[in-house]
Amino acid sequence: MPETTFTTPDVPVSTYRDLFGNRCRRLVAPAGDLTMWGDATIWDDGKLDRVLPGARELSVPELPDHSLVYLMGSR
């Protein structure tokens, strides 16, 4: 089944791929109430995510510049 999205009231919605390959939707929300919903089927291979036991947390000032894109508000 293809992915579908809806808005009430009906507003134009465009679709694009971000830097990570995620499908994103873009719209200009009108003043007042806006309802958004969608329907999709998600397939998963059932494999566990890779774990890095040696990974550590860093404070924001310690993060390398190339990692800041992952902190974008839309993420």
| Per-residue pLDDT, 40 | 87
Low-confidence ranges of the chain (pLDDT < 70): 1, 73-75
3-state DSSP of 36-70: EEEECCCCCCCCCCCCCCCCCCCCHHHCCHHHHHH
Sketch the domain layout of the chain as residue ranges. 1-41
| Per-residue pLDDT, 74 | 53
State the number of CA atoms in the 13 A half-sphere of 50 facing the CB.
3
- The reported pTM is 0.53
Tens-digit pLDDT profile for residues 29-44: 999 999 999 998 988 9
